[in-house]
Amino acid sequence: MKLIKIFLMTVIMFSAVDANKCLAKDLTLNKLEKIFRSKNLGKRKILKLKRFIQKNKKRSVPVLIRVMKSSEYPERNRWMATFWLGKSMGKQASPFLSKFVKHPNWLLRVASLKVLLALREKKYGSLYGKLLKDPSLIVRTQALENIRQLKLHSEASKVWRMLYDRRNYYVSKKKTKRGNIIKDIIRVVGDLNFQKAKKPLLKMILKERYTDIFSDIEYSLRRITGKVPPKGNRTVKKIYWQRLAISETTI
């Protein structure tokens, strides 16, 4: 009987220790969540968060997800939580992040795109392609960067269509002007070796109204055609591209 009592007491003692450990963990996680509610996180707190999450990756995941989902937390902290989720889970976080690229908050859409790019996720190419039409210019720019870096040739036609999206232009002094994203679009078309863009680009490079993006068009043509124009001014280069356009015209 004494042995049984001693055994039971030992079990109770260890159970109490385990319970205290669990409670300590919960308290730590609660503290973590409270820190995420802070509007102005200093460098020290950010470092503490980072270290805790690195040491407690699996246990931190539910907190990170809660922070991402809730508008009660500051946007900056939700942005950080998105990146730390990617670092904590790796590619296992990709399915969840792929849903967040449709989030109403543009900041979280961008953050999710950046993390998916860091994870080198190519399987969401069609999703990146759809985001080239996103209402936010910053989201469109990031989606374009994902497609460029991941070399998603399947999305080349969608990239080309961005040139016809009015949202990529702005009005200044009653004139429509090209946004900076237009230069990126033209270069990405070349990086993706989109052959259907060759003829239109050969026409564009000869027109005066595209002088401001001449170097971008030429970059793209060089990538698509594999041709290198002679050194010289724009007139010399235009003559070269004009001859190439004529040589490729079928009669």
Q: Model confidence over 193-220: pLDDT tens digits?
A: 999 999 999 999 999 999 999 999 999 9
Cβ–Cβ < 8 Å for 156, 189 = yes
Question: Cα–Cα distance between 134 and 143 in angstroms, integer?
Answer: 9
The correct answer on CATH 1.25.10.10 for the domain covering 75-181 is yes
The label of the residue with tokens 């939580």 reads 81
What 8-state DSSP symbol labels residue 230?
P
- Report pTM: 0.85
Cβ–Cβ < 8 Å for 38, 77 = yes
Mean pLDDT throughout 53-78? 92
Domain boundaries, the chain: 75-181, 193-251
Burial of 175 (0-12, 13-18, 19+ CB in 10 A): exposed
- Single-letter amino acid code for the residue at 195: Q
The label of the residue with tokens 């730390």 reads 84
What 8-state DSSP symbol labels residue 8?
H
Question: Residue 23: pLDDT band by 50, 70, 90 thresholds?
Answer: very low
**Cβ contacts of 74 within 8 Å, gap of 6 or more:** 37, 38, 39
